[in-house]
């Protein structure tokens, strides 16, 4: 018999990591977007592509947060 997994016993950090693992386990075709979400995604990508040189990597953001 499988043991029950109690998510409530996980720390916030562990729950967030689990959310990330679950999200990463999905393929793009597993996630359907509304037309409004598609439009917003297209808008954000256009904004990024117009000024990609100013983008900051997640590693840089994380390092900056760790300094605080």
Whether the CB-CB separation of 58 and 65 falls below 8 Å is answered with no
* pLDDT tens figures, 14-45: 999 999 999 999 998 999 999 999 999 999 99
The confidence band for 61, taking pLDDT boundaries of 50, 70 and 90, is: very high
What is the domain partition of the chain in residue ranges? 33-68
Contacts of 48 (CB under 8 A, 6+ apart): 55
The span from the CA of 10 to the CA of 18, in Å, is: 10
């Amino acid at each position: 018999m499988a043991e029950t997994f109690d998510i409530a016993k996980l720390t916030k950090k562990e729950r967030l990591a689990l959310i990330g693992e679950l999200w990463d386990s999905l393929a793009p075709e597993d996630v359907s977007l509304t037309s409004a979400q598609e439009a917003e995604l297209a808008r954000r990508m256009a904004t990024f592509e117009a000024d990609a040189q100013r983008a900051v990597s997640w590693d840089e953001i994380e390092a900056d947060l760790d300094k605080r």
